[in-house]
Structure 1
């Protein structure tokens, strides 16, 4: 069992940190809103620190799950950052969906202190975090990954290393690009079914059993047809992720025309007031174009 610090108690981090305690690890958490850290400690029996540095002091492994590149820098760097609290020989594992650039930047800063670093973004959403069934995509040295993997197993259904630091973030970009294309295709298919007079839910159930099947189709088709989007991964966060992927693609000379188009469609959803709707809300844009009501 390890002495662990966990930084960031959002909808993902809160249950992930709880799984670590359930597996017997000694966990100290940090959250920007201290009241949430206090509530977590009261619920799970762990401890909390007032700053990332305080939470990380004495930790063998520091895990983080925050919002974006800037949030990650703020909890890792500076006088109150986690790197100021860890000792040589510790390991940092970052679950934030961020850029490969910031992963490499922080890995370099960690290495200067004799600290390892693994970028390890996750997929599976809030339900995956709560059920301990996340897919974790890792980048880092083989030695650092081997050290991290038994701890990550506390909330993973799959965990793999794809290369050096940054490889995990690039793999997550692939994940988000695939989701964007799938959800747009679903939106168009379900609209076609409904407008042709078919039961779109019935169509989705059958199609999901064939070559057109996907997790999104199996889990989101009914809610899309019910006009229900107050759940899941928010459009605002998807646009952040697609922006990272598009920038990475530009840097290496790869064209992502579908991802770029769907990113603009998500911008349209934001203009409809759907920034916090689930990503499956792309269908709302098509309803507006058709002149239909989008009231949920």
Structure 2
């Protein structure tokens, strides 16, 4: 199948630039957002059209991408889209949601002769804006290979990791890793400040060794300045960690550190930092 017509449902901080990259790649793009003014702004910035309804947006699409809020949003939007999508088309969910909803939608899509991939992303707003996202996909290989050229419009790397739900499980692993790394970095910076060290200089040194991480490279400087009004919000991280912790209860895995850091993020929320970047864990220690 030659893919030309695509639809993007959900123009949040991730979806807005992702849909923009599709337009730049010369796909014929139709967008939908529950708040219409975002669709209007998107059409002012990019070549494409907007639809007033999900059904109108997806009816002629070869591939439909969605990036919304949580499981309930995913189920609501996807159910409406599947009713209007044409047979043989593909629905790709880029939302970070549960593996349960991914498996559910895979089965529902099959009933409509539509293919489905769960494909959460990592890289944050900057990754979306710079077409540098990492996409973790679950589904069938033939479907993934068919839509990979579309995904490549906004991703620097995408990979199929297994059957339906595998993409979401991989994203849970991603968030588990980040939670521990950010807490460790926060404690290191707190320790260094109390010890009277020039932490910027220390970070310059240790970032060249085994302690290096994306968080250290991209967040240490702003953490030391006390700047947290940007990036991936604590509220969103707690949603993601809750998904991971629920899955851990289902599969019998032990996530002691993740559960602890989740409670630390709850402390940040209580202090009014729900919309702060996840690196705001440092504020608990200060």
- How far off its partner does 1:106 sit? 0.9
Which runs of structure 1 show a deviation greater than 2 angstroms over 4 or more consecutive aligned residues?
none
Q: Is the 8 A contact 1:93 1:148 kept in 2?
A: no
- How far off its partner does 1:266 sit? 0.1
Partner of 1:27: 29
In structure 2, C-alpha distance between the alignment counterparts of 1:223 and 1:29, rounded to whole Å: 34
Where in structure 2 are the equivalents of 1:1-296 lying within 5 Å?
1-77=3-79, 81-287=80-286
Moved more, 7-16 or 203-212: 203-212
Q: Secondary structure at the match of 1:136?
A: strand
Compute the TM-score of the two structures, normalised by the length of structure 2.
Answer: 0.98
In structure 1, C-alpha distance between the alignment counterparts of 2:144 and 2:218, rounded to whole Å: 31
Count of paired positions: 284
In structure 2, C-alpha distance between the alignment counterparts of 1:73 and 1:49, rounded to whole Å: 20
Q: Secondary structure at the match of 1:273?
A: coil
- How far off its partner does 1:68 sit? 0.8
Q: Is the 8 A contact 1:98 1:241 kept in 2?
A: yes
- How far off its partner does 1:35 sit? 1.1
- How far off its partner does 1:38 sit? 1.3
In structure 2, C-alpha distance between the alignment counterparts of 1:255 and 1:135, rounded to whole Å: 26
Deviations 1:192-227 (A, max 9, x none): 111000011111121111000000001100000100
Partner of 1:293: none
Q: Secondary structure at the match of 2:209?
A: coil
> Unaligned stretches of 5+ in structure 2?
none
Q: Is the 8 A contact 1:235 1:275 kept in 2?
A: yes
Deviations 1:141-197 (A, max 9, x none): 001111111100001111000001100000000000000000000000001111000
- How far off its partner does 1:247 sit? 0.4
Q: Is the 8 A contact 1:187 1:283 kept in 2?
A: yes
- How far off its partner does 1:2 sit? 1.7
Q: Is the 8 A contact 1:75 1:82 kept in 2?
A: yes
In structure 2, C-alpha distance between the alignment counterparts of 1:218 and 1:228, rounded to whole Å: 15
Q: Secondary structure at the match of 1:29?
A: strand
- How far off its partner does 1:91 sit? 0.3
- How far off its partner does 1:239 sit? 0.1
- How far off its partner does 1:75 sit? 1.0
In structure 2, C-alpha distance between the alignment counterparts of 1:53 and 1:245, rounded to whole Å: 32
